Amino acid sequence: MECGRRDCVPRSHDRVSRPSSFARYREDMNSQDLSQRSRKPITAEPVMSLRRKNGVLLEMVLRRDEGTSALILFHNGEVSEHRSVTLDGQEYVPYSPANNLLTHRVIALPSMVGDYETDAQLLTDVQAFIHKFVDLSPEFEEVAAHYVLMTWGYDLFNEVPYLRVRGDYGTGKSRFLLTIGSLCLKPIFASGASTVSPIFRLIDQIGGTLVVDEADFWASDERAEIIKILNNGSAQGFPVLRSEVTPQREFNPRAFNIFGPKVVATRHPFEDSALESRCLTEVLGSRPFRSDIPVSLPESFEREAEVLRNKLLRYRFRRFANPLEPILNDEIGLEPRRAQILAPLLRVAVTDDAKSRMRGFVIGRTDLVHRRENDAERQVLSSARSVMVGRPIPVTLGAIAKRFDDDWGNRYGTEVANRWVGAVLRRLGVVPQKSNGIYVIPPSEYPHLRNLFVAHGVEDVGTSGEKEPVESPSINTN
């Protein structure tokens, strides 16, 4: 690590110090890298964040009013500010304040290392900010505040949950994304006007928290790419492969690391039940809005969010400079999927009461997901039965999806896709087959379907919600 007079700009209001430990560390690095640097010039690499195994952290700060940026180095409990830092022979510099991502506020950063008294007080300040600008249930508001703190140390976890709200237009989803996202570590605000390609690169190169309204990508190829990011981005070690073309027009597959926290807004539940189970979800629009919520965000919003980000940067240095001891499943007392969702939140909880409340929230919401899955399976079977009664074979997935929309579409608010119906049936052990370019239910699956009808009680489910007489599908299985 190097810090010459030209590269160091101490600022008194950041409480910058350079103890002797920094000098010794610098001399060691200089002596190790001298021969390497004498052989070839070092090309400075711009970074927004960097972690070393020896506890060294680099974080970028941005001062919009001054038009400057800098790197904050944390090591051995001490903080210093630099224009460039050299680690292991590589020079690092902050991104230019004129970078398009920063000038257009695609990414929000701290402006300095703030300070706070206790973790409990910081959590209270974060929750008060959320309460001031967005209307959430008390339970979800507390979960959201803990989620914000968790994002500032997400790179030490193996799995992270997603924070998600669901609702129709005008229910406050955009306000939620902006309010929560403004406090998270390196939020990447991705709008519906974006293409997905740069989002892969931003997460891979910058890390941080993806803030996205999935509904903006609904019924488009881009939405499928967003779902891919969400499916693969909740656990370490599951990069996404994408083909890129070299200047020589050769295809060159590249792996993108898309792990990290995600703050998401959607209009509907996810079709994938595994993805749905990774989300901590609040449904918006089910109650009147609070009268004290401002209709438009005041000018003070950005400044208040920046002050909290500054404090949260100090929190990252204090709490997440070194690896964390793993939380054992016995300490949580839940099955693995729920334990994975809850463990990162328990890391930042400051009271046992808060841990208990969040545990109850996770149990309640995941139980709700399971009930919805069962409802969806029962409804698909009911629609399949209605199509099959008196209908010549084969029965297509398209016909079942159309009947499902007629029977249950008002509950889902959108037309379901054939592939979703197929996914539900496959989950139940029914395997559709492709015939003449379309997917059908082969006759060999009808006996299994009849058993599913009985097991799920769909004989008693009518298309209008009223009971109808029990009758077996009039289908020929020979």
CATH of the domain at 170: 3.40.50.300
Global confidence as pTM = 0.72
Task: Please indicate, yes or no, if residue 468 is contained in any of the structural domains.
Answer: no
Q: Are residues 440 and 322 in the same domain?
A: no
User: What is the reported pLDDT for 25?
Assistant: 45
User: What is the reported pLDDT for 454?
Assistant: 80
Final residue in a domain of this structure, among 306, 332, 350? 350
Task: Please indicate, yes or no, if residue 360 is contained in any of the structural domains.
Answer: no
pLDDT, tens only, 429-468: 888 888 888 888 888 888 888 888 887 777 643 333 333 3
Q: Are residues 346 and 408 in the same domain?
A: no
User: What is the reported pLDDT for 279?
Assistant: 92
pLDDT at 273 over 80: no
Question: Per DSSP, what are the bridge partners of residue 92?
Answer: 45, 85
244 vs 257: CA distance, rounded Å? 15
Q: Are residues 31 and 141 in the same domain?
A: no
Count up the domains in the chain and report the number.
Answer: 3
Q: DSSP string covering 397-417, please?
A: HHHHHHHHHHHHHHHHSSPPP
Task: Please indicate, yes or no, if residue 154 is contained in any of the structural domains.
Answer: yes
Task: Please indicate, yes or no, if residue 340 is contained in any of the structural domains.
Answer: yes
Mean pLDDT to the nearest integer, 318-343: 82
Mean pLDDT to the nearest integer, 275-289: 84
Cis-peptide into 394, omega within 30 deg: yes
206 vs 314: CA distance, rounded Å? 19
pLDDT, tens only, 55-82: 899 999 999 999 999 999 999 999 999 9
Collapsed DSSP state (helix, strand, coil) of residue 355: helix
Task: Please indicate, yes or no, if residue 345 is contained in any of the structural domains.
Answer: yes
Q: Are residues 408 and 331 in the same domain?
A: no
360 vs 125: CA distance, rounded Å? 23
Task: Please indicate, yes or no, if residue 362 is contained in any of the structural domains.
Answer: no
Question: Which CATH number fits the domain that encloses residue 398?
Answer: 1.10.10
Final residue in a domain of this structure, among 54, 74, 102? 102
Q: Which domain holds residue 301?
A: 119-350
Q: Are residues 131 and 29 in the same domain?
A: no
User: What is the reported pLDDT for 266?
Assistant: 87
Q: Are residues 220 and 327 in the same domain?
A: yes
Task: Please indicate, yes or no, if residue 357 is contained in any of the structural domains.
Answer: no
Q: Are residues 195 and 315 in the same domain?
A: yes
Q: Are residues 96 and 164 in the same domain?
A: no
Q: Which residue type, as a one-letter code, is found at position 322?
A: N
Q: Are residues 308 and 254 in the same domain?
A: yes
Task: Please indicate, yes or no, if residue 217 is contained in any of the structural domains.
Answer: yes
Q: Are residues 207 and 330 in the same domain?
A: yes
For residue 247, what pLDDT band results from cuts at 50, 70 and 90?
confident
Q: What percent of the chain has pLDDT over 70?
A: 79
172 vs 41: CA distance, rounded Å? 52
Q: Are residues 305 and 434 in the same domain?
A: no
Q: Are residues 92 and 49 in the same domain?
A: yes
User: What is the reported pLDDT for 8?
Assistant: 46
